[in-house]
A and B are shown apart, each in its own frame.
Chain A
Amino acid sequence: MGDEFPKEYDVIVVGTGMTESILAAAASRVGKRVLHLDSNEYYGGLWASFNFEGLQQWVGDCQKPKDETECKADPQLADGESAIKMRVLNPPTATNVKEQWHVPEAVESSGDDAKKAWSQEEVKKLYRKFNIDLAPKLLYSRGALVELLISSNIARYTEFRNVTRVVTWHEGKLTPVPCSRADVFATQNITVVEKRMLMNLLQECTEYEGNPEKLKKHENQSFLDFLKDKQLTDNLIHYVLYAIAMSTEETPCIEGMSRTQKFLLSLGRYGNTPFLWPMYGSGEIPQAFCRLCAVFGGLYHLKRGAEALIVGSDNTLKAIHSDRENLKSNYLVMGLDYAPDSFLPEESPGISRGVFLIDSSILAADKEHLTLLEFPPDESSGPVTIVEVGSLTNACPQGLYMVHMTTKQKGSAEEDLMSVAKKLMNFPGETDESKPNLVWSMFFNMKDTSTCDLGANTPTNLFLTSGPDLDLDFDFAIKQAKEIFSKMYPEDEFLPRAPDPEEIILDDDDEDKQKQPEEKASEEPQE
């Protein structure tokens, strides 16, 4: 590649998180010159997935003390321009990070025990078999991301597995929730009359918009009261409220119905639950968008960030300074985790995360399941979203399961999640045979910047993008990307379908090539 590194772009994107990657792909797809940088040596930023060793490094980075040292950059400035210098080290992306082993460093192999006794040594040895998500998320089968992946033809870079069961915590134990027609038919946990009531209710929720008058009646009602009015049994109310609508006692009726509808509309497209899980972890998704960006000519550079931002007197961004060069751009898109302090919103809520390795499933079954558990709120914790993945997802080695917990931050992640974790698994010393044994755990807190006003302190042509939000799916990131894209390029289509390889004409002498086999073929039938 003898070409010199280009100095001018339509869009420079700093950070390879979800929103940034979608924007990079969208701009590149409509022919814009895109440069995509990330000072990390991995893709995904706050959305990344790591193998076990990569995660250790990330934990190490997070535990480094905050360093305010600015970059030594000394960019050339034109009249009226000023430089905002960036810090050498980005502030840690997670706080309250606590990683802990719950098994001995090594165990002597005790032969053919039914349940394998894991050791730290053994888990570390299998480090490449892990894909541990910072921001685990699911896709609704008819949700915004699935539709976008299909319509843009990015789906061919991705692979998914179905979530195979939805589980809830009810009356002190885990129970699978019948949510599809097949589940309702097969379950023995509810009576036939309950089956009918449940199906009737679900039907009503899928069609609720068609009946505005009826809707009015429920306007000021909570979803819980609505369900009670239907004279549903406690069982059913619990299933619908917590597991299907993923709501709380306070959720308004209309919102509960719409959440139920969203759940139901995604059923049956790819399987018996509405959800898909990205193979190799959620970190694959931003990378798929990056790949499309690159296919359409976007330039990529990892381990390279912006050292300074050059802003004109009209409060527009002119260029970034990176690796001793000024790179001009019409627009700059920047992940919040890279932004200088002066751009940041003052306060933002937080997310509490827990990751657990266990030696069997939280609800053992005769086959490996991919489980979603929306843990209902109680006195000690808010609702906790739990996803359990097994080796079939390539997220962890065979014989282990990985449990992801996500909830709104109140205290530290450990404080927020410990009570739920204790209910589901054996901590060292506990020997409840119905529960899995904990092998390793990690807690951390992240910021939830999805609700912040990110445009308040920035130059007009610089767009900040937020990190992962609390929602189960990726819809927020897509919405954000679309909004920013339409501000940059209101005339252009957002991610039109990319052609398949066979639709692309690679050579001008393409037609000559086609003639040859044709002549050959025409000889045969004559004999």
Chain B
Amino acid sequence: MHGRLKVRTTEQEQAIKRKEREQKVKAYKAAMGRIMKIRGNVELNDEMLILTREVLQRNPDIYTLWNIRREIFLSFKKEKSDEEMGKLVDNEVKLTENCLMNNQKSYCAWHHRGWVLDLHPEPKWTRELALCTEFLKQDERNFHCWDYLRLAAAKSGFSPLKQFELSDEKIKDNFSNYSAWHYRSKLLPLTHPDPEGNALIEPRQHSYELGQVESAAYTDPNDSSAWFYQRWLLGRDCSVAQRQPPKPLLCWLGPHKAIVSFSKHSRLAPQLFVDGQTVEGEWMMESKYVWVLKHKIGNVDLIKKAEVVTEGGRLELQPSSIGLVAVVAEDSQEHNQVVMDTLKGQLKNCKLLLTLTPDCRWTYLTAVFLMQAIDVRLFHGETMEFLDKLIQLDPLRAGHYDDLRSKYVMEFKLSLMEGSFGVQESVSLSQCHLSSLYHFNQLALVREMCRKLDLSHNCLVTLDSMPGLPALEWLDLSDNELTKEPGRVDKNLRNANLTALKSLSVQDNPCSDLLDIEDLLQTLSFK
């Protein structure tokens, strides 16, 4: 009566498990063999459905089998009545449900479910919504399910407001949820559009959303999901500026070339009118921001009136020492006052948060983005300081922060050149911690005019993003990290179209000893 219970040893258990596994493999191989053998044999469709069902229920990720079933269903569609089809699809939907119970993250099963339901004569998409809610209860971060929810919502006409409430609920459960935040960004323009049409989202809701982010950030600043959402809220997609067409900032007309550079990506080629006539020729998009036209006008001094017309407005060119030019200071008020106030408020928040919980990288990074968006010049020093701090806090991403630094340094320099930009013959970027070259594409005229470029005492490893600099005569690359990888630097230089180059310094670089400067200069000018 008080005898000990007899319990299986681990060895016995393992033996049982092994046997089970072997049997599974055997059954799987047999079924797959048969499936491949009868594939395409329409007579055996019914058997095929049974066989593939058996295998899929154990492993829903064999997409070949789903595809076979799809073939069969497509043929059914032609021959079966609506009633029969409805029944078949219902069963198929049940199958995917069984599969999803086994593996809630099966791409194939989710996809097949959506696909096959479309074949139903009267698909009940609202039922699918209930399924999604159920699955999200079990795992609120299942992005497959969020994805399917979007599909089901669209098909069933589920009101965006209801969907919005669902995302609200899930975020309240756990705000570390990229999917739910992302879903909001898709819904907000539908549920809360700006009645004035100035922005994507109604301002009151927009500030409520920022409040949510703030709440998340202050609760757990180390959780990145809300920070990313904030980036979207404050980003161009959401702002007023996005709705305005790209503005031409600079136009130049030289003897053989015309250049127009824009405030942002411009998809439409500008038009050039000289003395009332359209100038013929093909505009080339040189970069996202810059359009270039090669023409045959020659002497531009004789032109009485030259005008550039773009989607964002027209500019009249004025004579200058370097040809005809029009320069518009980039509107630092690209953001309107409301947006600017929002950004400033957010920056203030970040800084307060840093006093409460220092050493959080997401706060620093957000502050950096905000400062750059508010005023590149005013916050330059602080931006650099924060980037140093970020490298220290997050050394694994030091390269990324260095890259940001390079970009911001260039933006800072650009902002200093404002007004005169384009007509600079000598540019010094010495001792700027540059690890890569940014924004040269925006400096269209610098590139045309620049004769002297000082890049010494930086951290450049390659010159991969070196722009074409046809006027450049003097280039200082000394004291960088230029790689000794054979041919890399030579090739960069050759690609940069340096036909006028007379002086080149590459001292104090890993590659210094490998480059024959004289030879290089010669080949460059011959090119």
Binding site for B on A (CB under 8 A): 3, 6, 31-33, 181-182, 184-186, 192-193, 195-197, 199-200, 296-297, 499, 503-505, 514, 518, 521-522, 524-526
Neighbouring B residues of A504 by C-beta, 8 Å: 5-8
For residue B364, CB closer than 8 A to chain A, the reply is no
Residues of chain A within 8 A of B299, CB atoms compared: none
**With contacts A182-B173, A186-B172, A193-B352 known, is A199 near B5, CB below 8 A?**
no
B218 touching A192, Cβ below 8 Å: yes
CA distance A503 to B16 in the complex (A): 11
Contact status B357-A505, CB under 8 Å: no
In the assembly, what is the distance between CA of A524 and CA of B31, in Å? 10
Given known A-B contacts A192-B214, A525-B31, A197 and B356 have beta carbons under 8 A apart: yes
Interface residues on B, range: 20 to 34
Q: Is the CB of B2 within 8 A of A185?
A: no
Of B1, B8, B19, B174, which contacts A503 at CB under 8 A? B8
B26 at the interface (CB under 8 A from A): yes
Task: State in angstroms the CA–CA spacing of A521 and B21 once bound together.
Answer: 13
B residues 3-47 in Cβ contact with A at 8 Å: 3-8, 13, 16, 19, 23, 26-27, 29-31
Binary A-proximity of B352-384 (CB < 8 A = 1, otherwise 0): 110011000000000000000000000000000
Assuming the contacts A200-B357, A503-B7, asked whether A195 and B219 have C-beta atoms less than 8 A apart, the reply is yes
> Contact flags (1/0) for B62-101 with A, using CB distance below 8 Å?
0000000000000000000000000000000000000000
A32 to B4, CA, bound (A): 10
Which 9 interchain pairs have the tightest Cβ spacing?
A525-B30, A192-B218, A196-B218, A195-B218, A505-B6, A196-B356, A185-B219, A499-B7, A297-B2
Is the pair A521, B27 in contact by a Cβ cutoff of 8 Å?
Answer: yes
Name B176's closest neighbour in chain A (CB-CB). Answer: A181
Task: List B contacts of A499 (CB < 8 A).
Answer: 5, 7
CB distance from A390 to the nearest CB of B (A): 20
A-B contact pairs, 18 of them (CB 8 A): A3-B1, A6-B1, A181-B220, A185-B172, A185-B216, A186-B215, A192-B214, A192-B218, A192-B349, A197-B356, A200-B356, A503-B7, A504-B5, A504-B7, A518-B23, A524-B30, A525-B29, A525-B30
- The residue among A196, A296, A505 with the most chain B CB atoms within 10 A of its own CB is A196
User: Measured between C-beta atoms, what is the minimum distance from B19 to chain A in Å?
Assistant: 7
- In whole angstroms, what is the CA distance A112 to B395 when docked? 68
Chain A residues with Cβ under 8 A from B29's Cβ? 525
Of the candidates B215, B221, B352, which one forms a contact with A185 in the assembled complex, judged by CB atoms under 8 Å apart?
B215
Contact A182 B218 (CB under 8 A): no
Contact A192 B215 (CB under 8 A): yes
Q: Considering the chains assembled together, what is the distance between the CA atoms of A297 and B5 in angstroms?
A: 10
Contact of B4 among A3, A31, A186 (CB under 8 A): A31
Q: List, in ascending order, chain B residues with CB within 8 A of A514's CB.
A: 16
Within 8 A of A (CB), among B484-504: none
Q: How far is the CB of A2 from chain B (nearest CB, A)?
A: 12
| Alpha-carbon gap, A122 to B304, bound state (A) | 101
* Chain A residues within 8 Å of B173, by CB: 182
* Distance to closest chain A CB from B2 (angstroms): 5
Interchain CB contact (< 8 A) of B220 among A186, A199, A526 = A199
- Besides A181-B220, A297-B1, A518-B23, 12 new A-B residue pairs in contact (Cβ under 8 A), listed by A number: A6-B1, A31-B2, A182-B174, A182-B175, A185-B172, A193-B218, A193-B356, A195-B218, A196-B221, A199-B218, A297-B2, A518-B19
Instruction: Give residues of chain B (179-220) contacting chain A, Cβ–Cβ below 8 Å.
Output: 214-220
Residues of B within 8 A of A525 (CB): 26-27, 29-31
The CA-CA distance from A182 to B220 in the complex, in Å, is 10
List chain B residues, Cβ under 8 A from A296: 5
Q: Which of A31, A185, A186, A196 sits near B357, CB closer than 8 Å?
A: A196
Q: Most A CB atoms within 10 A — which of B4, B215, B352?
A: B215
Q: Which residue of A lies closest to B356 (CB)?
A: A196
- Is there contact, CB below 8 Å, between A526 and B219? no
Contacts of B214 in A (CB 8 A): 192
> From residue 230 to 259 of chain B, which have CB atoms closer than 8 A to chain A?
none
Please report whether the interface of chain A is mostly helix, strand, loop or mixed according to DSSP.
Answer: helix
Q: How far is the CA of A499 from the CA of B349 in the complex (A)?
A: 56
Q: A248 CA to B150 CA in the complex, in Å? A: 51
Q: Which residues of A contact B5 (CB under 8 A)?
A: 296, 499, 504
Least CB distance from B13 to A in Å reads 7
With a cutoff of 8 Å between Cβ atoms, the chain A residues found around residue B218 in the complex are: 192-193, 195-196, 199
- Chain A residues whose CB sits within 8 angstroms of the CB of B220 once the complex forms: 181, 185, 199
- Which residues of A lie under 8 Å from residue B26 when comparing CB positions? 522, 525
When chains A and B are docked, how far (Å) is the Cα of A182 from the Cα of B6? 47
Within the complex, the shortest CB–CB distance from A494 to chain B, in Å, comes to 17
Complex alpha-carbon distance, A57 and B182, angstroms: 59
On chain B, the residues within 8 Å of A184 by CB distance are: 219
| B219 x A196 contact (CB < 8 A) | yes
Q: Note all chain A residues with C-beta closer than 8 A to B219.
A: 181, 184-185, 195-196, 199
CB distance from B279 to the nearest CB of A (A): 57
Q: Which residues of B contact A31 (CB under 8 A)?
A: 2, 4
> Which residues does chain B contribute within 8 Å of A526, judged by CB atoms?
30
Given A184-B219, A525-B29: A505 and B356 interface contact (C-beta under 8 Å)? no
Query: Which of A297, A518, A521, A525: most chain B Cβ within 10 A?
Result: A525
The chain A residue with its CB closest to the CB of B214 is: A192
Please report the C-alpha to C-alpha distance between residue A181 and residue B26 in the assembled complex, in whole angstroms: 49
Hey, which chain A residues are within 8 Å of B217, CB to CB?
Answer: 192
Q: A38 CA to B239 CA in the complex, in Å? A: 75
Residue numbers in A under 8 Å from B3 (CB-CB): 297
Smallest distance from the beta carbon of B256 to chain A beta carbons, Å? 59
B325 vs chain A, min Cβ distance (A): 50
B352 to chain A, nearest CB (A): 7
Residue of A nearest to B171 (CB): A185
What distance in Å separates the Cβ of A376 from its nearest Cβ neighbour in chain B? 25
Q: In the bound complex, what is the Cα–Cα distance between A113 and B4 (angstroms)?
A: 61
| Closest-CB distance, B316 to chain A (whole angstroms) | 51
Cα–Cα, bound, A518→B20 (Å): 9
Contacts of A33 in B (CB 8 A): 2
Docked pose: A256 CA to B220 CA in angstroms: 23
Shortest Cβ distance from residue B297 to the other chain A in the assembled complex, whole angstroms: 61
Q: Which residues of chain A have C-beta atoms less than 8 A from B6's C-beta?
A: 504-505
Note all chain A residues with C-beta closer than 8 A to B216.
Answer: 185
Q: Complex: how many Å from CA A485 to CA B200?
A: 69
Cβ-defined contact, A196 with B13, below 8 A? no
B4: min CB distance to chain A, Å = 6
- Smallest Cβ-Cβ distance to B3: which chain A residue: A297
The CA of A200 and the CA of B357, in the complex, are separated in Å by 8
